[in-house]
Structure 1
Amino acid sequence: MAKSKSPEKKPEWLKIKLATDCNYAEIKDMMRSKTLHTVCEEARCPNIYECWANRTATFMILGDICTRACRFCAVKTGLPTELDLAEPERVADAAEQMGLRHCVVTSVARDDLADGGAMIFAETIKAIRKRLPLCSIEVLIPDFLGNPDSLKIVMDAKPDILNHNIETVKRLSNRVRARAKYDRSIELLRRAKEMQPSIPTKSSIMLGLGETLEEVVQAMDDLRAVDCNILTLGQYLQPSSGHIAIERYVHPDEFKQLKEEGMKRGFSHVESGPLVRSSYHAHEQVQSAQAAT
C-alpha cells in the first residue's frame, strides 16, 4: 500500500512536556516487578509522562502480543503464547498499591481464544473491585469478533464504563484497522447498552487520517444512535514509518469545534484535543457520565 508523505514538521501544539519524576519511576518499577503491561508504553502514548506522574495508568492484560496488525497501532503483533490466569490478581494488587480511584483495563486482541479473553476481563474487574470497592473501573475491550456471549461475560461483571473504540470514520475503517469492522463496533456498543442500560459506553476517533468534518459528525451520529455516552477525539501520530501515514495535523481550534458538535449531539462528555487518547482524563469522564444519569 502506497503511503502518503507525512507533514514535515510537527506543530507547536504537539510538543510534550517530559515529567519523569519519582512517581513515574515508581510506577515503571512496579509494572516490571509484577510483570504487567501498560498500553501507555506498548502503544507509545504521548501522555505517559503526565499520567504516570499523576499516578494513573492503563493496564494492558492478556499479554503484549496482538493477533491483529492494525495499521495505526504500535503494539507488537504475532501469535500470543501468554494466558496468565493469575494476571487479574496482579493487576488488582498494583491498582491497590497505586491507590487508584479510577482504573482503566484494556487488552490486545486475542482472536486465538474462544472467548477473546472476556473471562480474564471479567476476573480482573472482580479482583479490582474486591481490593478497591470505591474505585471506578473502565474496560476498553476489543470487538471479540462480534461474539455476543463474550460481550455478555464482560457486561455481567458490571464495569463502571464500557469502552470500545471505532478508531476512525466508516470510509477509512477497512484501511486503518485489521479485521475490525465499523458496523460491528457500532453493533457491539448497541448490544452493551442493551445488556446493561445503566452502564455508560464510550468510544474514540483518531483524526488526521484523511477524514472530512462531515464524516466525523456522521460517526458521532452513529455513536449517539446506539446511546454511546462518552467520546474522545485525538490526533493520530504515526508510530513508525511502517505504519499508516498522517495526512494532516488537526488544529486545536478544530478539536474545539468538534467538541461543541459532540456536546450538541448529547454526549455526556467529549474529550477533544491533539494529545487526547482514549483514557486521557478518564477519571473526569466517569464523573461526567455519572452526573448525566
Structure 2
Amino acid sequence: MVTVLDRTNGAARPRHPEKAHRPETERLKKPDWIRVRAPGSPVWRETQDIVRSNKLVTVCEEAGCPNIGECWSKKHATFMILGDTCTRACAFCNVRTGLPEAVDRGEPQRVAEAVAKLGLHHVVITSVDRDDLADGGARHFAEVIRAIRATSPGTTIEVLTPDFLRKDGALEIVVEARPDVFNHNLECVPSLYLTVRPGARYFHSIRLLQRVKELDPTLFTKSGIMVGLGEERNEVLQLMDDLRTADVDFLTVGQYLQPTSRHHKVARFVTPDEFKAYETVAYAKKFLMVSSSPLTRSSHHAGEDFAKLVAARNAKAGGLPAAAE
C-alpha cells in the first residue's frame, strides 16, 4: 500500500486504505508510445517550491499525472482545492479517500498568490469531491476565482469541478463567478460507472454540463474521458453524441493508467492511431476543440488549448473553418 506524508504533522499515513479490499490485478507493461520526461529540472524545482511555500495541493502530484515533468518545467501547475482527501473512492483515482478536514478559508488567497508568482496566463482549478459540505465546495470555488481575478486580472481561469450531486444551487454559485472554462469529466462510458465511478451518475453529469450553457451560454464547457478501461468503440461514439446534445465545446480523450495493483485494471492500451480516429470523429460531430492522445489529460496544454478554443469559436461565428479541423 502506498503511503504519503500528512501535510499537517509529517506522519506517514496510507494513501489508499479504502482500496485494500480490492483484489490485486496484473499491471500491463506500458507500450513504447507512453513515454514521459522524468521531473527534476531547475524550473520544475522552482514550481515545486512555490507550491510548497504556499501550502497548496496539486492534482499533478495527488493523481500521479504522467505529464508533471513537462508541465512543471513550464511553471504550469493545476491546483486542487478543498484539501487532499476525497469523500468518494473511484476505482481509477490515485487521490486519497476518507473524511476531509475543515475548509481552509485562507486557501483562495494563497492560490491567487501562487498563480501570480508562477506568472500563469491560464490556470486550472480542480478539487476533491466534498460530499460532506452542503454546497459541495461551490462557494470555495467561487472565492478562489474571485481571488485570482483580484491579483491576476489578465489570467484566464478554468475550473474542473465535481458533479455537485444532490447539492441544489451549487452549480449556479460557480457559474455566477464566471470562470472562462467550465470542465466536468465524465471519466468513462456509462456501462463502466458501477465499477469505475460508483458514486457518480452519468446522466446527472451530462445534465450538469448542459445546465452550465443554459445559465451562461458564453462560457466554454469541457469534458474528458479515459479509454482502455474495457469500453467498446461504439460506446465512446455514443458518449460523444451525449456531450454534443449538451452543447459541450471541448472533449479530451486519454489513456487510463493504473496507479497501483489495487486500482481498476488497464484492459488494454489504445493505440495512437485509434486516438487519432476518435479525434477525427469528434470533430465531425462538431466539437470546437478535441484533444485525443495516449497522454492527454484534462489540464495538459490547457492554456494553449484555450487559445485554440477561442479561435475556433470566432471562426465558427464568422462562418470560417476552425484551424483545429
User: What TM-score does the superposition give when structure 2 sets the normalisation length?
Assistant: 0.88
Paired residues of 1:190 and 1:227 also in contact (CA < 8 A): yes
1:92: which partner in 2? 112
1:83: which partner in 2? 103
2:86: which partner in 1? 66
Query: CA separation in 1, counterparts of 2:260 and 2:156?
Result: 34
1:27: which partner in 2? 47
Query: CA separation in 1, counterparts of 2:65 and 2:299?
Result: 10
> Is the helix fraction higher in 1 or 2?
1
Query: CA separation in 1, counterparts of 2:206 and 2:24?
Result: 28
Pick from 109, 113, 119: which aligns with 2:133? Answer: 113
1:181: which partner in 2? 201
**1:178 Cα deviation from its structure 2 partner:** 3.1
Q: Which amino acid aligns with 1:56?
A: H
Matched residue SS, 2:251: strand
Q: Which amino acid aligns with 1:230?
A: F
Query: CA separation in 2, counterparts of 1:284 and 1:231?
Result: 15
The 1:236–1:216 alpha-carbon spacing in structure 2 relative to 1, beyond 3 Å, is same
Paired residues of 1:202 and 1:229 also in contact (CA < 8 A): yes
Larger radius of gyration: 2
- Cα deviation, 1:225-265, whole Å, max 9, x if unaligned, reads 00000011000000001100000000001000100011111
1:37: which partner in 2? 57
Q: Which runs of 5+ in 1 are unaligned?
A: none
Pick from 217, 220, 232: which aligns with 1:200? Answer: 220
Structure 2 residue 288 is matched with structure 1 residue 253: no
1:155: which partner in 2? 175
Matched residue SS, 2:225: strand
Q: Which amino acid aligns with 2:89?
A: A
Matched residue SS, 1:270: strand
**1:33 Cα deviation from its structure 2 partner:** 1.1
Pick from 229, 241, 245: which aligns with 2:261? Answer: 241
Query: CA separation in 2, counterparts of 1:282 and 1:116?
Result: 25
Query: CA separation in 2, counterparts of 1:195 and 1:117?
Result: 19
**1:4 Cα deviation from its structure 2 partner:** 5.9
- Cα deviation, 1:9-50, whole Å, max 9, x if unaligned, reads 210001212242111101111111111000000000000000
Query: CA separation in 1, counterparts of 2:78 and 2:97?
Result: 19
Q: Which amino acid aligns with 2:100?
A: P
Structure 2 residue 300 is matched with structure 1 residue 280: yes
**1:288 Cα deviation from its structure 2 partner:** 2.3
Q: Which amino acid aligns with 1:155?
A: V
1:213: which partner in 2? 233
Q: Which runs of 5+ in 2 are unaligned?
A: 1-21, 314-325
Paired residues of 1:38 and 1:58 also in contact (CA < 8 A): yes
Matched residue SS, 2:33: helix
Matched residue SS, 1:203: strand
Structure 2 residue 46 is matched with structure 1 residue 18: no
